[in-house]
Structure 1
Amino acid sequence: MNQVNNTFFFDEDNIPSEQLPRTFQMSFKEVGVGQKNEVIVVLNNTKRIGDIINDNSYENDFYRYHDIFHYSFAALLGWSPCTRAMMRRKRKSNPQVDEIEDGARAKITEEAISMIVYNEAKGKNFFKNKNKVSKTTLKIIKGMTENFEVRVRTAKEWENAILKAYKAFRFLIANKGGIIEFDSIHKELKYYPF
């Protein structure tokens, strides 16, 4: 099993182009297509990241903003294979890390975690006025990530990241988009309307 770096940043020893940015800004721009709303995500006001996203649902359930979870995990947990892929920050210089930590299984795991948490959050008004994620969900997350570097993050760290991500998610819904600043150094998210 790959040894985990003792610092917060799992990619501390990688070249800068293979590191998740320590601070970054994402603009979530909602665009309407008839009755279907979609979101475009732009990094640091310069580069579109990922696909244009819609809810992929029969109902308007705001899942189009779910990339906020990936970027929040990157900033608050130092882990997001999905963010690495979207930002082209995979650790290609180490083929084993690239395959295992940044590969398809890790990305699928992160997407599954996002969906599991979303299903709980949806029934709890997206964690508005809540300060807990269910112990069952946190236990599932810990089990799903036990083979990845993020296994060193505690259930409390996961809970904190999830609750902060959902606060930003609710902001995006209320404002039909907005700008989120991610700060890995201070473990903070800040948000601004357009």
Structure 2
Amino acid sequence: MADFAFDVKIPDSKIAREAAELVRQHETEMLFNHSVRVFVFGAIKGIRQNLKFDSELLYIAALFHDLGLADAYQTQDKRFEVDGADAAREFLRSHGIPKPKADLVWEAIALHTTPGIPEYMRPEIALTNAGVLMDVVGRGYDEYTPEQRDQVIAAFPRGDFKREFIEVQTCSALRKPKTTFGTVNFEFIEHRDPTFRKPSVCARIHDAPWSS
């Protein structure tokens, strides 16, 4: 898919190609390019930190991490992260990947928007999260050389990423607002509707059926 002047290669195994083909069928070019950039930025960080990680599993986690935003994979009652994680695990298991590896990818995807936890977990989980944060909000931007950033963007262009990404995330959150409780995803609804009030954990505690 792309050759870089640094030590990251896009996995080209049969399962990696089939994963990319499946995701391409259901995601926009914006989301697909974002997903591959997540892998590359995560892999660069992993190499820089001398982490031992499975490049193929990291790639599939990155590819599938936003698949829950696609219409074909959205459920009514699960967080979009879990929808994508479920799809990835089903894909891996159907290709004979052992359950522990499929579960590792599931965790990487399910936790990719959760603050303060993934970075302390296994490398594939931490690096998926790191790649997402780098590409979406620029966390760690200066840890990558200008040449690395430019090569990644040249191979997988951002286009109008900021506007389009906010829009697709907002549409997903508005379809199932209850799934945004306790996550950063409610902020997409607030961005669209400043009058929106997120569910209050204090109200839920007060409304619990206990007497005190």
TM-score calculated relative to the size of structure 2 = 0.29
**Bigger radius of gyration:** 2
Q: With a CA cutoff of 8 Å and minimum separation of 6, indicate the structure with the bigger relative contact order.
A: 1
Pick the structure with more helix per residue. 2
TM-score calculated relative to the size of structure 1 = 0.31
Pick the structure with more strand per residue. 1
